[in-house]
A = this chain, B = another copy of it.
Amino acid sequence: MTFPGLMMQQPLTLRLCLERAETLFPDRGATTKTPGGMVRTTYGQIGERCRRLANALTTLGIEPGDRVGSFAWNSTRHLELYLGVPCMGAVLHTLNIRLHPEQVAWIANHAEDKIVFVDESLLPVFAQVAPHLTTVKHIVVMADGPLPPAAPDGALSYEDLLAAASPSYAWPDLDENAACAMAYTSGTTGNPKGVVYSHRAMTLHAFMSCMVDSNGIGEADVCLPIVPMFHANAWGIPWAAALAGANIVFPAQYMTPPDILSLIESERVTFTAGVPTIWIGALPEVQKGTCDLSSLQRVVIGGAAVPLSLIKAYDDLGIRILQGWGMTETGPLASLSRPLSTMDATMSREELQTVRAKQGLPVAGVELRIMGEDGVAPWDGKTFGEVQVRGNWVARTYYNDERSPESWTEDGWLRTGDVAIVDATGFVQLVDRTKDLVKSGGEWISSVDLENAIMGHPKVAEAAVIAIPDEKWSERPMACVVPKPGETLTSDELIAHLSGILPKWWLPETIAFIDEVPKTSVGKFDKKVLRARYADGTLAP
């Protein structure tokens, strides 16, 4: 560096988020649904509670770099962990409450968590995790009243710890490349893989999340992260909301569609984000028109492909769904399907729905390429390839995992395992997971496109497509279809519907009508289960 800049270098740490919320927006804050009603906590109070938390953790022996586990719903206390734990230099490790208890314990042991914070309502589940923990020294129960009887022996009370701790604490100056949080990816075969987020990564992600063309979070927003805080940092919304001074609403364990709709109505939510499942489930209720969702401005859906039919159905109700794409390894927000102003000005409503059904443009700060069989694929709207990304909030390796080299290219891009095409406007459209593509007679069939076409049938609630072995074609697609409640549907009806939309050789010969598509812990279709069920390629049980 022959001629250095002469600017200040303040570390990019999450303290920027915490201190901005507390200093400039002390009267805004978080609202959590509890058995006793809605509980409101201001950023002023949260700031003080975070300092008490830091003192309490210090007293319990937690040092910079130590991993602090959470086993909790989306709540204000979880937000305090999101802010207080990283700002004192420790590492928040969000444990996925929906995994098998032994897997949760494996993850906590692998990360060497020293302490775990557990929601009162999750104590029965956690009771199955606790016996397997090998590194955890303290369990802290987050509850409104006194320590509940279900608490394990020796457990501490979150509120007692905070009450006993001093409200004075000087946040340390941290290295921006130090870890602030950890999360493990699940849903893959083999053990979960750990991603270690840095302060720099998550602070930049928060800035990006407040940009007008990404999630656009601002002080006027009321944010409702439906996506769990134990899943990919709740898409970074807790930190972005604090940075912006936006209000934030937490559903805690009240996660049914009616719960969520009621929260949106009562709290006048403007921004929400979650997986498609919740919106699929909510559709009949929303169609009844009994809830007032007029405050909603941006409904971001990600974590799994959003069926076009869902986008259309909500569009008819005046609700615009934006599709986001990313993964635990990408911070997570990597792209967003916000139609460009030039599209708004020229496209029909149907065309715009199609745009919103794509995964969209990479957000500012993320570079994306499609690696086809012959190298980097052109953006021609038809050449398939694996999506590879690069950027400051993209992981560069897994934590202490010898499988890491499989997931990064030699020139340093993350191999996402997603297969996509990119059109001339730069909009990414996922066509499949690399492992879910169906290769029939040497040609690729996109299981996602086939699923979308099937879910476009008015009698279909959900559908998953997997590859089954075939002697002649090597693989053929098989459709697992869930009819809407009260509807009956035949294979012939479905094929007749598909024939008008898809090439003939894509049409599945094998269709199973099932009660429900198995889901992973984070609500994605779990095709592993279906593949095992239909491993021999027949409908025989």
Contacting residue for A9 out of B63, B200, B398, CB 8 A: B200
A418 within 8 A of B: no
A180 within 8 A of B: yes
Nearest-neighbour CB distance to chain B for A483, whole angstroms, equals 41
A420 within 8 A of B: no
Q: A200–B390 Cα gap in the complex (Å)?
A: 18
Q: A391–B15 Cα gap in the complex (Å)?
A: 13
Cβ of A9 and Cβ of B212 under 8 Å apart? no
A24 partner residues in chain B, CB cutoff 8 A:
361-362, 426
Please judge, given known A-B contacts A6-B396, A398-B6, whether A175 and B12 are in contact too, CB under 8 Å: no
Contacting residue for A20 out of B12, B340, B364, CB 8 A: B364
Nearest neighbor of A215 in chain B, beta-carbon distance: B212
Cβ of A364 and Cβ of B244 under 8 Å apart? yes
A198 partner residues in chain B, CB cutoff 8 A:
4-7
Q: A399–B6 Cα gap in the complex (Å)?
A: 7
A66 partner residues in chain B, CB cutoff 8 A:
3
Cβ of A7 and Cβ of B392 under 8 Å apart? yes
Nearest neighbor of A338 in chain B, beta-carbon distance: B219
Nearest neighbor of A5 in chain B, beta-carbon distance: B198
Cβ of B6 and Cβ of A196 under 8 Å apart? yes
Cβ of A395 and Cβ of B8 under 8 Å apart? yes
A526 within 8 A of B: no
Cβ of A5 and Cβ of B362 under 8 Å apart? no
Q: Mark A204-234, 1 if CB is under 8 A from B, else 0.
A: 1001101111001111100000000000000
**Of residues 398 to 417 in A, which have CB atoms within 8 Å of B's CB atoms?**
398-399, 412, 414
Q: A219–B427 Cα gap in the complex (Å)?
A: 14
Contacting residue for A396 out of B8, B367, B412, CB 8 A: B8
A213 partner residues in chain B, CB cutoff 8 A:
210, 218-219, 244
A361 partner residues in chain B, CB cutoff 8 A:
24
A10 within 8 A of B: yes
Nearest-neighbour CB distance to chain B for A250, whole angstroms, equals 20
**Of residues 22 to 65 in A, which have CB atoms within 8 Å of B's CB atoms?**
23-24, 63-65
Q: A362–B243 Cα gap in the complex (Å)?
A: 12
Cβ of B397 and Cβ of A178 under 8 Å apart? no
Please judge, given known A-B contacts A3-B179, A340-B219, whether A243 and B8 are in contact too, CB under 8 Å: no
Nearest neighbor of A363 in chain B, beta-carbon distance: B20
A191 partner residues in chain B, CB cutoff 8 A:
none
Beyond known contacts A7-B200, A204-B207: 6 more, CB 8 A cutoff: A3-B65, A6-B397, A6-B398, A7-B395, A10-B390, A207-B208
